[in-house]
Amino acid sequence: MKTYNFDFVIIGGGLAGLYSAHYASQFGSVALITKSTLDISNSYWAQGGIAAAIGKDDDPGLHFEDTITAGRGLCDNAAVKILVEEGRDRILELLKLGVPFDMTNDGPALGLEGGHSKRRILHAAGDSTGKEVVKYFTGIVEHNNKIKIFENTFVFELIVEDGKCSGLFAVNNIDNENFLFLSSNVIIAAGGASGIFSRTTNPNTSTGDGIALAYNAGAEIADMEFIQFHPTSFYSDTGDTFLISEAVRGEGAYLVNEDGFRFMQKLDPLAELAPRDVVASSIFKEIESSGNKCVYLKLDHLNAEKIKNRFSYIYNHALDYGVDITKNLIPVAPAAHYMIGGIKTDLNGETNVKGLFACGEVASTGVHGANRLASNSLLECIVFGKRTIDAARVNINNETTSDFRSKNIYIEKANETFYIAIKKNIAEIMMSKVGILRDEKSLREALDDIENIASKYNFTENEFYSKKLSDLIQVSKLIIISALTREESRGAHKRSDFPSENSSMKFHIIQRKDAQPEFLPLSN
Ligand code: SIN
């Protein structure tokens, strides 16, 4: 088997992976591994932007307050302080580097999104922030001879001996070649899992592989019940959907129901700009009570040229569905968008497995609590990406183990069709029974349904699609079990059988292989 040695092995090609690879390259050799290509990631698809308190009337303290308020009592204050303070510094560095944020004569153009008390959302090419920032860092890493990029490469197992990670096994999912990577620093930056749900704003590659990898290697997984639903994802009868950025509401769009009534005004003083959990669940209830399939965003009172310019991606994409957003109502409904929980890390990206780190959406640093504030996620990628590398670089030159069983995986192409069909089935179960509003009955049914699927599938050892399916089942179960365990409604986790917040449940839910879920008190 081809064997590589690197000082840092980074799994994931979104902003957390790219930024960490760029920063790590100052200290040693870097492998950047992605199961797809660098233009497919949640970061690439991010529209709204990156939040940072850089405005004249703003302050990291205000950004801190807004993040804590959105997080519904579950944020780790120290992590949030780092996010907002170091976030400001990282953004100023990105501006100096020349990342192409949209500018005004006074400096970066700053947008507004739900839950923010100030305009602090930097954006690029209007509503293509993720794409522009990812393209910028892709250009940098592709020209850096300290970084070797492995695309279409699926990591299927971490090498962990005596609680220490020293590398991984991977396969090229096109030509079936197997690889061994040895490194004293393995960094998982593999993104989220919202692609497990049938209605999602994520690429279909967002299936939580990083979570399954870490879990199987003995890492602690935190707060998987908190899947954040974006309130406004385009609705079409075919099921096709794409994100309609919260920034559209930030520029003055209204949410109306079938009768043209602005229902958010009676539900929250911030109306359309209330925190995301409030807007998403209010839309869900409006849809349920009316029997309609969607609500609408109304923009026809706004300056049409400004809207076309600021939201050119959304404008053009909606036109493909016959909707001119400057004139017509945009049909929208919530969709799974962001995995708030993930691999539990400390403030330096370290997991409970030595040599194993995590950053970006796949990590649970404690910054988002029970409900992520809009546009804090790309910020988290760069702030905790840097901290992770700073912690990891002290391990360079540590010896890696040579005492492990070699592993190969093979790809049975004929299994792909089964995999896709079962993935679709699981996605429908997750959406209908583990969606925006859950209860014990729906969650237990979902668990039974998924175990039933698992019992019928003929899993083959060391086969690629069998492995992918067992990971998908594993991650779905982690979400369901955490959702069953949290018997309250808080932030992104809403239970109709426990409709209120329970002040005695201010804890994290930790899951670990072969153990019952545990409650971890907040460190504040
Ligand atoms: C959006 O543009 O609404 C998404 C921003 C985010 O999820 O943070």
For residue 2, which amino acid is it?
K
Nearest alpha-carbon partner for 152 in 42, 46, 359, 13:
13
Question: How confident is the prediction for the chain on average, in pLDDT?
Answer: 96
If you measure from the C-alpha of residue 309 to the centroid of ligand 1, how many angstroms do you get, rounded to a whole number?
18
Residue tagged active-site, from 90, 199, 249, 276:
276
The CA angle 231-237-240, to the nearest 5 degrees, is 65
| Residue 519: inside a domain | no
For residues 361 and 318, state if they share a domain: no
For residues 207 and 270, state if they share a domain: no
Please state, for a pLDDT cut of 90, what percent of the chain lies above it. 94
DSSP 8-state symbol, 457: S
In angstroms, rounded to a whole number, what is the distance separating the alpha carbons of residues 78 and 68? 11
Three-class SS state of 510: strand
**Substitution site in 242, 375, 379 for ligand 1 pocket (most atoms within 8 Å of beta carbon):** 375
pLDDT tens digits, 102-137: 999 999 999 999 999 999 999 999 999 999 999 999
For residues 364 and 462, state if they share a domain: no
| Residue 506: inside a domain | no
| Residue 521: inside a domain | no
| Residue 504: inside a domain | no
pLDDT tens digits, 202-235: 999 999 999 999 999 999 999 999 999 999 999 9
For residues 156 and 279, state if they share a domain: no
Residues within a 6 A CB radius of ligand 1: 47-48, 245-247, 338, 374-375, 377
If you measure from the C-alpha of residue 8 to the centroid of ligand 1, how many angstroms do you get, rounded to a whole number?
30
Average of per-residue pLDDT across 278-285 = 96
Residue whose entry in the numeric block shows the structure tokens 């939580």: 208
Atom of ligand 1 nearest to the CA of 376: 8
276 is catalytic: yes
Of 285, 301, 334, which residue is a domain's last? Answer: 334
For residue 282, which amino acid is it?
S
Please report which confidence band the pLDDT of residue 402 belongs to, taking 50, 70 and 90 as the band edges. Answer: low
Atom of ligand 1 nearest to the CA of 372: 8
For residues 177 and 117, state if they share a domain: yes
Of 334, 361, 383, which residue is a domain's last? Answer: 334
Total domains in the chain come to 3
For residues 200 and 294, state if they share a domain: no
**Substitution site in 44, 45, 133, 230 for ligand 1 pocket (most atoms within 8 Å of beta carbon):** 230
The helix or strand, by DSSP H or E, that contains position 472, with its residue range, turns out to be: helix 464-485
DSSP 8-state symbol, 18: H
- Residue 515 in this model has a pLDDT that exceeds 70: yes
For residues 295 and 444, state if they share a domain: no
Q: Which residues contact 177 (CB under 8 A, 6 or more apart)?
A: 2, 171
Q: Are 360 and 14 in contact (CB under 8 A)?
A: yes
For residues 346 and 326, state if they share a domain: no
Tell me the residue range of the domain where 92 lies: 2-221+340-395
Highest mean predicted confidence (pLDDT) among 32-46, 398-412, 434-448: 434-448
The CB density around residue 173, as the number of other CB atoms within 10 Å, is 18
**Substitution site in 15, 44, 66, 113 for ligand 1 pocket (most atoms within 8 Å of beta carbon):** 113
Q: What is the DSSP string of 434-449?
A: SSSSB-HHHHHHHHHH
Half-sphere exposure of 130 (CA within 13 A, CB side): 24
| Residue 227: inside a domain | no
For residues 192 and 255, state if they share a domain: no
For residues 115 and 131, state if they share a domain: yes
Average of per-residue pLDDT across 276-280 = 94
Average of per-residue pLDDT across 441-448 = 98
| Residue 447: inside a domain | yes
Q: Read off the CATH number of the domain in which 469 is found.
A: 1.20.58.100
Average of per-residue pLDDT across 489-496 = 98
> Is pLDDT larger for residue 167 or for residue 404?
167
Average of per-residue pLDDT across 316-327 = 97
pLDDT tens digits, 347-387: 999 999 999 999 999 999 999 999 999 999 999 999 999 99
Q: Read off the CATH number of the domain in which 298 is found.
A: 3.90.700.10
Q: Are strands 30-33 and 164-172 parallel, antiparallel or unpaired?
A: unpaired
- Residue 10 in this model has a pLDDT that exceeds 90: yes
For residues 91 and 72, state if they share a domain: yes
| Residue 68: inside a domain | yes
For residues 303 and 161, state if they share a domain: no
- Residue 401 in this model has a pLDDT that exceeds 90: no
